[in-house]
Amino acid sequence: MNLRLCAWSFLAFLMAAAVVGGAESLHIVPIVHEDEVLVSVELNDAYTDAVRETISSGLRTTFTYEVDLRMLVPAWVDRTIVSSVVSNSDQYDNLTRRHSLSRTIDGRVESAFVTEDETVARRWLTTLLRLP
């Protein structure tokens, strides 16, 4: 399997999703390294005032990304190689003014930490730094 072809197919798929998805500004960088495709995804305009208000109210806020790595075959038929569901969550505590952040990939907790910095929380929700 040609991972470079897969990476470009994945990029084309996400770009098409961005066009269909509307106004959000999407930045995607696929990186092929040995037998892995690493992807950096940033959704710049998703952290709106309404999202900020929801988080500030103390409601758990989750951004869920459904990601497919596809390979285009000569007959223009897409073949899905890997699918993942990534969820980035923020649970803000009004009393301590801290954001409890967590990331799950396919239901498994990948990482979690606490921060007082809203900028860190915003970046956490709207950025996927690495996808397996």
Rg (CA), the chain: 16
Query: Residues with Cβ < 8 Å from 55, sequence gap 6 or more?
Result: 61, 90, 92, 99, 121
Query: What residue spans of 1-132 are helical by DSSP H?
Result: 3-21, 49-56, 118-126
pLDDT at 2 > cutoff 80: no
What token pair was written down for 111?
């990482």
* pLDDT tens-digit map of 18-57: 444 444 577 877 777 777 777 777 887 888 899 999 999 9
Q: Report which of 93, 95, 87 is spatially closest to residue 112, judged by C-alpha positions.
A: 87
* pLDDT tens-digit map of 85-126: 889 999 999 999 999 999 999 999 999 999 999 999 999 998
The model carries a pTM of: 0.72
pLDDT at 8: 44
Say how far residue 96 (Cα) sits from the centre of its chain. 27
Beta partners for 117? none
Neighbours of 86 (CB within 10 A): 19
